Amino acid sequence: GDELFNQLAKWQAMSNGLLSVPVVVRCSVGSKYGAQHSQDWSGLAAHVPGLKIIYPATPRDAKGLMASALASDDPVIAFESQRLYDQVELFKDEVPEGSYKIPIGAPDIKRAGSDVTVLTIGPTLYPALEAADLLAGRGVALEIIDARSLVPFDYGPVLESVTKTGRLLLVTEACERGSFAMTLASNVTRFAFGALKAPPRVLGSPNWIVPGADLEHGYFPQPFDIEDAILTDLMGVAGHDRKGSRRWDDLALARSGL
């Protein structure tokens, strides 16, 4: 941690701009490998001033963001979902052969909609897209925005979307407590308070250790969890029959320290 958080992040400022730190650190995180290897700690890195943070979820975005990271004079932490490494069937967009850059900090609308804005971080893009298909059958149109980067972050596209929909769900594989999704939710609440029809909802992993492989799937947000959060918490649909695994009392868990 010292090399990343106390050295790379601070050399430029401590040298009054004399030094540049063109370093890119690749980190695989998130679901796939059980208790000791499945934690998403992107929020920890995002908390440290002086670091840029990218977290692409598609090959096209990964190539463009990596090109921008390699061209930067600032230290960049590149988070990658280890679950997506061998799930090529999820990738729909072709990767351009030539050189191109995607600006660090620019989120991307992956699916247009008018009823609820869903802001995803990393691999949660894919269960969100599945949930969008589920809810389309009920007449609910989700607008899916992939954050792609955490630091810096352009709130403009998200605020424009929330102004249209009035509702925001943020989905992350990180534990909800202390996650960067909580920071995003807080800022959107402040910046777009008058447009909100309901408080933004963060859907992340439970605040306990990742279980073994046979239970891991239900630990991270799945399409039915997203559907439940939208219909119950954001839209207030009476009598909705929950299909996801999130059936606990969030307030009671918070009081217990979980």
For the stretch 85-89, contacts whose Cβ atoms lie closer than 8 Å and that sit 24 or more positions apart, written own/partner, are: 85/28, 87/126
Strand pairing report for 76-81 and 108-111: unpaired
Q: Please, is 249 exposed, middle or buried when counting C-beta atoms within 10 Å of its C-beta (0-12, 13-18, 19+)? A: exposed
Q: How far apart are CA 119 and CA 107, in angstroms?
A: 9
Q: Would you say 192 and 200 are in contact if contact means Cβ atoms under 8 Å apart?
A: no
DSSP 33: S
Which amino acid is it at 33? Y
Please identify which of the residues 37, 47, 217, 240 carries the catalytic annotation: 37
Residues 145 and 119: beta-carbon distance below 8 Å: yes
Q: Is 37 a catalytic residue?
A: yes
Q: DSSP letter for 96, please.
A: P
Among candidate residues 164, 194, 199, 198, the one with its CA nearest the CA of residue 182: 199
| Strand order across the 201-205 sheet | 108-111, 142-146, 116-120, 168-175, 201-205
| Pairing mode of beta strands 108-111, 142-146 | antiparallel
Nearest-CA neighbor of 120 among 61, 76, 63, 73?
61
Which residues have a catalytic role annotated? 37
